[in-house]
Amino acid sequence: MSSTIYVLNGPNLNLLGLREPEIYGTDTLDDIAGMLEDRAAELGLTIDMRQSNHEGHLVDWLHEAQATGAKAVLLNAGGFTHTSVAVHDAIKSVTTPVIEVHLSNPHRREAFRHVSLVGQAARGTIAGFGALSYTLALEAAARF
């Protein structure tokens, strides 16, 4: 098993820092990547951070994480969280542990966000702590 943690981000997360900062905060995806890289180095891990607005990329990257022996995947699937059977099935098709991550708490938002297809397949979920959600998920993944 490698010491690499994949950090996969779905649609619109490239706009963090600009998009609805009252919900998602002012940290950019680059800010979060830097924070994770620093903590990962302290833990003896490496981060492979990626973002795509395309569902198939997330599916391919989940398969890649399995093929390369990644230690874990942190996945913020964005809007695909609630709609993607393909991402759900990809998580179930790999043995690499997947931790669902959200900046906001979906249960405190619109009703359509209350069902997570990703969460139904993931090992666990960390949500509602802003950028800290990623660090908390990294801490959990380090213990696998």
Q: State the catalytic residues.
A: 24, 102
Q: Which residue has the tokens 């093929």?
A: 67
For residue 63, CA distances in Å to 26, 35, 66, 92, 133 come to 31, 25, 5, 10, 24
For residue 125, CA distances in Å to 2, 100, 105 come to 22, 5, 10
Compute the Cα dihedral for 121, 143, 59, 65 and give only its sign: negative
Enumerate residues 6+ apart whose C-beta is below 8 A from 2: 68, 69, 70, 71
